[in-house]
Amino acid sequence: MTQLNIEKARFNMVEQQIRTWDVLDQRVLDTVMTVQREEFAPARYRNLAFADLQIPLDNGQVMLEPKLEARILQALNPQTSEQALEIGTGTGYFAACLAALCAHVTSVDIYPEFRDIAARNLEQAKVGNVTLATGDAAQGWVQGRRYDVIAVTGSLPEFHRGFHNSLTVGGRLFMIAGEDPVMEGLLITRVTEDEWSCESLLETSVPPLVNAQKKATFAL
């Protein structure tokens, strides 16, 4: 694919997929136009980098479809002074988008090989404000600090509160809860130290986080 064709495909992705899914935040649109998605896609699927589908990765994981990634970014509304946490690094593309919108991103994946792939991709893209970590975050990521923005990019079979206390007051969490055929994308906001709001944003279907357990649900 020539560079001209790549840029046309990127433009069409934004205009035909992302805008039509009610993503109108100009900062988000500028980000997905700027971050080179094709450089983060696996080489064997690079021709699908701008397609409206999930791109397969190793270990049964995926790159989310562009419109869903953009919708998550718009919902979280990261600000330039804020700290973000991503659960599910994959190839590093979503971390790069988050990093373009906020001060710093910590991205966690259970698979060390994804950490290595993302590190190479982020270095090539000259993204310097992402810290990569390896670990099991299916039940939360408690490291003695809080984040303004948390994006959980794999699904949870049942809703749980493992990430709630890692939010700052005013912080936003996006997570996907449920099992096929019904998964909900939820935006959770920490209103006070002891109060959270929850808004259902969309329906989707994505692979579950590794080790995400089915257990008793908790009410907000």
Between CA 199 and CA 68 the distance in angstroms is: 16
**C-alpha closest to that of 147 among 128, 174, 110:** 174
CATH topology of domain 3-204: Rossmann fold (3.40.50)
Sign of CA dihedral 13, 198, 61, 208: negative
Task: Work out the percent of the chain whose per-residue pLDDT is above 70.
Answer: 96
Residue 13: partners with Cβ closer than 8 Å, 6 or more residues away: 32, 37, 50, 52, 66
For residue 43, pLDDT beyond 60: yes
- Compute the residue count for the chain: 220
Quick one: average pLDDT of 169-194?
96
- Residue 110 is given by DSSP the state S
- Taking residues 10-35, report their average pLDDT: 98
- Average pLDDT, stretch 11-30? 98
pLDDT of residue 4: 84
Look at residue 61 and give its three-state secondary structure.
coil
Which helix (H) or strand (E) covers residue 30, if one does? helix 26-34
Confidence of residue 3 (pLDDT cuts 50, 70, 90): confident
Q: Distance between CA atoms of 191 and 197, rounded to whole angstroms?
A: 7
Whether residue 197 contacts residue 143, with contact meaning beta carbons closer than 8 Å, is answered with no
What is the average per-residue pLDDT within 172-192? 95
Mean pLDDT value across residues 38-65: 97
- 188 to 43, 95, 131, 151: CA distances (angstroms): 35, 20, 24, 11
pLDDT at 7 over 90: yes
Q: Which of 24-33, 137-146, 183-192 has the lowest mean pLDDT?
A: 137-146
Task: Read off the pLDDT band of 181 (50, 70, 90).
Answer: confident
Mean pLDDT, the chain, whole residue set: 95
Q: Quick one: angle between helices 93-101 and 66-76, nearest 10? A: 30
E strand spans, the chain: 55-56, 62-63, 83-87, 104-109, 130-134, 147-156, 167-179, 182-192, 195-204
The model's pLDDT over 102-138, given as tens digits with 9 standing for 90+, comes to 999 999 999 999 999 999 999 999 999 999 999 999 9
Among 155, 119, 112, 160, smallest CA distance to 140 is for: 160
* For residues 180-190, average pLDDT: 94
Residue 13: what pLDDT? 98
Give the confidence band of 46 by pLDDT, cuts at 50, 70, 90: very high
Q: Which of 175, 86, 82, 76 is nearest to 132 (CA)?
A: 86
**Per-residue pLDDT tens for 151-162?**
999 999 988 999
Whole-number pLDDT of residue 218: 47
So where are the chain's domains?
3-204
